[in-house]
Structure 1
Amino acid sequence: MNRVFDIVSGNNKKYKMAEDILSKFYTCLNLRWEDKLCELTKIIDHSSPTKELQALFPQLINNIFASSFSNGWNLKTITCDANKGNRQLFEGLIGFLEPQGPMFRLCYKLMSDQQLKYDLPLNVLPLDLQMSLERGRCPQFYTDMLIMDSQTMNFVALSLNPFDYYIFNFALHLVNNNQQQSTWENWNSVYFALACDYLMHFLPSDPNIP
């Protein structure tokens, strides 16, 4: 009887913890920037790679890269211009999204489950690439990522690990955005600062330099 009670009690605790993670996540998305980034960092660093953490990951990605001004994080328009009072926000976003920041810690934490994949629909890719993949004429890089619809026998999505899913969405945030050119060609924006950081960190010119 005690054994049954322990199992039920343990399950209730796990359910409560999962509920708390999701509740905290949804709550912090509505906080002001400083508090949002702080609370998201706490959730990432203090949570184990549970199904709830896996489930909130694509929601966080969507929140970051949403194209609408009210929901996205405006990475291409926020600059380090001190005259606009953006310096603190600029540094906060860089700190959260930089290669060794909380966002990538979340990616690596989730990658402890090697079977975990997220689907990226082909219709969000640039048209030329989308058509090549749909026709099966694709670079070797994409071969193991393609998902085929069993009914139509057409390729419909890419199956990506958490790291690749983030990087793809980061790249697509630039090429798929409908904003006018002048609004995203800010070379002192968060987006381009991160792009430079990612290139230097993940694709160093000298592979012998850590």
Structure 2
Amino acid sequence: MKENMLTFLKQLARGIAQQFGPSCEVVVHDLSGDNAEHSIVAIENGHVTHRKVGDGPSMAVLEALSGKPEKLHTDGSYLTKTKDGRILKSTTIYIRDEQQKIIGIFSLNFDITELMMVSNAINPLVSITSQKGETGSIPHNVTELLQELIEESTRQVGKPVPLMTRDDKIRAIKFLNDHGALLITKAGDKISKYFGISKYTLYSYIDSSNDDDAPV
């Protein structure tokens, strides 16, 4: 591997390791010579896999040296495991010369063991069993609550008010009535204005939706 390329890869490895911290191991393998058994020429945060300069090779190195290297492509974000059982999120980048021969490997191994433990602890707290759908917000006052209920009634129908039929509006207003929107002071005025109907029509729609719910 040319010296200027190797220097660049070493600087890149150091920068990535500094950016992502001690859990991120960055390794440079030089495969351009005949010393594949000691392919690691640069490594940052080698404590992650307990390797050092002069060690090697990895499975990715063996794949690059055997078989058909033209079939090898950058392999990003896969899981590997250290001998002591730690879980790594890994990426392998193959470096090629002008003839597309693999002359090096740039790899990242991020230790996510603790993150997975945190995730396992948090998931039960953030998981939901309800099938209500999208996340709701918590309103600051009844005005915001009414507005959110009105907007949700529109989403339930699935079309904007100008395109709603009489039955669509009845459905939306039934949603509002079922969810207690009409219990809010002066809600009738705001709902009527939003749907472009009179208060008389509003209450007739409510009566109509109640009739539809009556047992037959």
Shorter-chain TM range is under 0.3
Structure with bigger RCO (C-alpha 8 Å, 6+ apart): 1
TM-score (norm 2): 0.24
TM-score (norm 1): 0.24
Between structures 1 and 2, the one with greater helix share: 1
